[in-house]
């Protein structure tokens, strides 16, 4: 790092990536309705290579309770079926030889609570990642001050700015978590 601006830009970029990753994880959490994001990141063993399902097939939701997976290569359908079962999503795929249908059963109250716990765990992991980014940025700022590249006043202002960015990121995490909880718990 050459300057304070570099530290801020890197911290902001890493925090944004943490938020983006959290959104990807939330997309994979099952709600009461069908969503392609539930299965698109499932890894399928395809010719000896783990490949994401979205790279092997078209995924659609023709109705709220059904996901239809049309493989680009029909010989991959059995592997797609196995991968969805192995992903432990709480769904059972049906392979008819042309497409794989994944009916989404309504969630029981117990299963909804499990999904909320999973979402909370993902959110807490994101908060920890954000705090780690803050700690790294603070350490770099303190090093700049020790090396006499910035004054103590500049250091204090930078630490406040980094804390402000951290607080905003954590607020976004909490908002996303609330939205996901509402999605999962609504019947």
**pLDDT digit string (tens) for the chain, length 187 residues:** 568 888 889 999 999 999 999 888 887 776 667 778 778 888 888 888 888 888 888 888 888 888 898 888 888 888 888 888 888 777 888 888 888 888 887 777 887 888 888 889 999 999 999 999 999 999 999 888 888 888 888 888 989 999 999 999 999 999 999 988 888 887 6
The pTM (predicted TM-score) of the whole model is: 0.70
Query: Which DSSP string do the residues of 119-186 spell out, in sequence order?
Result: HHHHHHHHHHHHHHHHHHHHHHHHHHHHTTSS-HHHHHHHHHHHHHHHHHHHHHHHHHHHHHHHHHH-
Domains defined along the chain, listed by start = 4-27+108-185 (1.10.132.20), 36-103 (3.30.1360.40)
**Distance of alpha carbon 39 from alpha carbon 168, whole angstroms:** 31
Query: Which DSSP string do the residues of 49-96 spell out, in sequence order?
Result: EEEEHHHHEEEEEEETTEEEEEESSGGGHHHHHHHHHHTT-S---EE-
């Amino acid at each position: 790092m050459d300057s304070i601006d570099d530290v801020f830009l890197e911290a902001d970029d890493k925090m944004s990536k943490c938020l983006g990753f959290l959104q990807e994880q939330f997309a994979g959490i099952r709600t009461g309705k069908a969503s392609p994001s539930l299965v698109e990141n499932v890894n399928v063993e395809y010719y000896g290579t783990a490949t994401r399902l979205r790279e092997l097939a078209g995924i659609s939701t023709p109705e709220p309770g059904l996901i239809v997976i049309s493989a680009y290569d029909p010989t991959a359908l059995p592997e797609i079926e196995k991968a969805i079962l192995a992903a432990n999503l709480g769904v059972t795929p049906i392979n008819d030889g042309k497409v794989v249908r994944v009916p989404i059963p309504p969630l029981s109250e117990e299963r909804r609570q499990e999904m909320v716990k999973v979402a909370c765990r993902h959110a807490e992991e994101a908060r920890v990642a954000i705090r780690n980014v803050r700690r790294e940025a603070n350490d770099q700022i303190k090093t700049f001050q020790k090396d006499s590249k910035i004054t103590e006043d500049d250091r204090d202002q930078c630490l406040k700015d980094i804390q402000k960015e951290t607080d905003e990121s954590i607020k976004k995490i909490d908002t996303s978590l609330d939205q996901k909880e509402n999605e999962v718990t609504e019947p």
